[in-house]
Amino acid sequence: MDFCAGIGGGRAGLENLGMQCVGFSEINKDAEKTYREFFGQEEKNYGDLTKINPDDLPNFDLMIAGFPCQTFSVVGKRKGMKDRRGQIIFDLIDIMKGKNLKYFILENVKGLLNHGTGESMKIILDELDKAGYKVFWKLISSLNYGVPQMRERIYFVGVRKDLIKNNKPFEFPNTVKTPELKNYLVDTNEIESKEKKRIYESFLKYLENKYNKGKFSVEELLKEDFLVIDTRQSDLRLYRGKVPTLRVGRHGVLYIRDGKFRKLSGYESLLLQGFSKRLSNKVKNKISDIYLLSQAGNAMTVNVVETFGKSFLNYINSCQKQEQEEKNRSYWGLTPQRVDFKMKGMS
């Protein structure tokens, strides 16, 4: 089941592995609209998870949730557990216990690691442990798992302790080669000439501010195809072969293609988060870029979840196989340490 669902990046990754989603929980109405365009208007939204009675939920084996990260992010005010959003993890744990959940995959920002000198992370891991789960976690970049985006996130993989045999560890998947950026910056939609002119003129003014004056030449910049340009308050950053982390408030990423300045579109931001063209085309020209850019910035990277999910399924199957082998040994009165064969005529 998909909690803190956003637009369903986690769900899309797991469905690519053949899993079936039985419902979702999301309170943002704009995100819900995009979610339904992706997965169907009949999908059941269970709403605010802080008000959910676990008994009212359908049965499910795995929870996926990108629990609110704004309270831990360096971009936000970093109130952590003092902010109600920072306490959503405890509501998720209540649902886990209420459903006697077997497995989960959770995601949060890198800032959680050092928030409160590491105390917030410790509290979360301790609470999950007390709830009966063995947790494996790792900080990873989407850049190393199938999309050209510098997106660092912490991923937690959890298994109910009674389902793990011989303290078997979960091994995170190996990294893969970063694909070419040009396959993602493909939108052919032209922004209206008035807006295009405004964006270009604003960029020229930016180049002339006290931080950047004399550092960059428009002519030189235009010579590089798929050069990504990110304007910050005090400086301009250039990226080759990758884009900076997509965020809710980051809407002004520019790039160069065919000798022209272009603005990263909502459609392209979805592709950079691993959403397929099939799904992305469902909302292209239907959902405004101002929403898609924010929603993509708040989503899980589909490729990352799919890659982790595949390793997780292999791990689960391995644990189940081990359990079955132990049951078979127990049935025949055998133990893993010693197997005795006694046949007629032999001693």
The domain that holds 97 is classified in CATH as: 3.40.50.150
- The pLDDT assigned to 331 comes to 59
Residues 44 and 137 in one domain: yes
Cα separation of 307 and 235, whole Å? 35
Residues 195 and 171 in one domain: no
- Whether 59 is covered by a domain: the verdict is yes
Residues 268 and 141 in one domain: no
- Whether 261 is covered by a domain: the verdict is yes
Provide the whole-model pTM. Answer: 0.88
**How long is the chain?**
347
Backbone CA torsion sign across 142, 144, 145, 149: positive
Question: Which are the catalytic amino acids?
Answer: 69
- The pLDDT assigned to 343 comes to 40
- The pLDDT assigned to 209 comes to 87
Strands (E), 190-281: 227-231, 236-240, 254-257, 260-263
Residues 232 and 98 in one domain: no
Residues 76 and 202 in one domain: no
- The pLDDT assigned to 99 comes to 97
- Whether 162 is covered by a domain: the verdict is yes
Residues 185 and 171 in one domain: no
Residues 139 and 211 in one domain: no
- Whether 36 is covered by a domain: the verdict is yes
- The pLDDT assigned to 334 comes to 54
Residues 81 and 141 in one domain: yes
Domain count, the chain: 2
Domain span at 236: 181-286
Cα separation of 49 and 52, whole Å? 5
Residues 187 and 159 in one domain: no
- Whether 341 is covered by a domain: the verdict is no
Per DSSP, the three-state class of 141 is: strand
Residues 118 and 54 in one domain: yes
Cα separation of 347 and 335, whole Å? 20
- Whether 53 is covered by a domain: the verdict is yes
Residues 33 and 141 in one domain: yes
User: Among 192, 157, 214, 153, which Cα is nearest to 14's?
Assistant: 157
289: left (phi over 0), alpha (psi -120 to 50) or beta: alpha
- Whether 94 is covered by a domain: the verdict is yes
- Whether 344 is covered by a domain: the verdict is no
Q: How far is CA 280 from the centre of its chain?
A: 16
The list of the chain residues with pLDDT below 50 reads 71-76, 78-81, 83-85, 336-347
Residues 170 and 198 in one domain: no
113 in Cβ contact with 121 (< 8 Å): yes
From residue 83, how far is each of 71, 87, 130, 184, 189 by CA, in Å?
7, 7, 23, 36, 40
From residue 71, how far is each of 2, 29, 116 by CA, in Å?
21, 21, 11
